[in-house]
Amino acid sequence: MAERLRRLRFGLCADVHKDIMHDADERLRVFVERMKQEKVDFVLQLGDFCRPYDYNRSFMEVWESFPGPRFHVHGNHDIDGGFTREQTMEYWSMPARYYSADLSGYHLVVLDGNEEREGRPPGYPHYIGPEQLEWLRADLAETEKPTFVFSHQSLESLAEPEQGVENADEARAVLEEANREAGWLKVAVCFSGHDHTDSHNCIDGIHYVQINSMSNYWMGDEYQQIRYGEEVDREFPWIKYTAPYRDSLYALVAVEPDGRIGIEGVKSAFVGSSPWDLDYPHRQVEERIVPTIRSREFSISPEVG
């Protein structure tokens, strides 16, 4: 039996990097206060949020001040400093590394793209293992609700494969299989962070949206510049390796009963020199590296089931 989509509104933020940014608490507060005013159905952060230090409790209290459901995705940097995934999960009150939930007539799936594989290249792992993929296949088979998928690393991985999930093609195959077996667009949209870029692509009917960092674009040692003065730099020495955004970036997502999905973003500017002022190479197309989350609108089928 066909069922119409229900109205759903939620807030997304990504890559706040509390342990890099001197003003992370205030950036998060701007987001949470806006979502309170909008009375959204839930909020979700897409990883690289904060490490489980005692002194980060004030940051967590800002997050916890949102009165509705709050969801977490693990980022690759959330265990820096020698922490384990389990410690971060406990600190965040996160139910599992990957999990799903039903809310307001929708199915929400959170994936962990930080799994290890044997023989992986140096650097942070960015992989979804066979056990998690099998869990995903079974989870999608069990739901009849329209589904949104959330991960830290992108499942798209077409323009920058080293940035996304290493075996993104396997993960996409599971999503596409679920849609074929259902006979409708059960999995409609996948949201990710990690890249600190702004983009939207559609592959086999599924929309892949990258949510820009709330705070900055990482450039690295060759492009360092002190942005907020010597005093801030002494206490927060990693900021100078980034191009920070003047304003807190986040997205308000609205799903309408007719299948329209609107993403309301925030437009900002770089603090200090832009990447292009510093001759940063075009590792990605320039239009993706922006101090902005663009507002977008696209459609999915309003008839499900």
- CA 136-141-144 angle, to 5 degrees, is 120
Is 161 contained in some domain? yes
Is 45 contained in some domain? yes
Round the CA-based radius of gyration of the chain to a whole number and report it.
Answer: 19
Is 232 contained in some domain? no
Sign of the C-alpha dihedral computed for residues 193, 243, 78 and 51 taken in this order: negative
pLDDT for the residue 46: 98
Q: Tens of pLDDT along the chain (305 residues)?
A: 245 688 999 999 999 999 999 999 999 999 999 999 999 999 999 999 999 999 999 999 999 999 999 999 999 999 999 999 999 999 999 999 999 999 999 999 999 999 988 888 788 889 999 999 999 999 999 999 999 999 999 999 654 556 799 999 999 999 999 999 999 999 999 999 999 999 999 999 999 999 999 999 999 999 999 999 999 999 999 999 999 999 999 999 999 999 999 999 999 999 999 999 999 986 667 789 999 999 999 998 645 44
Is 100 contained in some domain? yes
Rounded Cα gap, residues 60 and 64, in angstroms: 6
Rounded Cα gap, residues 184 and 226, in angstroms: 51
Q: What domain count does the chain have?
A: 1
pTM of structure: 0.95
* Domain hosting residue 107, numbered range: 3-217+248-272+293-304
CATH number of the domain encompassing residue 184: 3.60.21.10
Is 228 contained in some domain? no
Is 287 contained in some domain? no
The answer to whether 11 and 40 have CB atoms below 8 angstroms apart is yes
Is 240 contained in some domain? no
Is 57 contained in some domain? yes
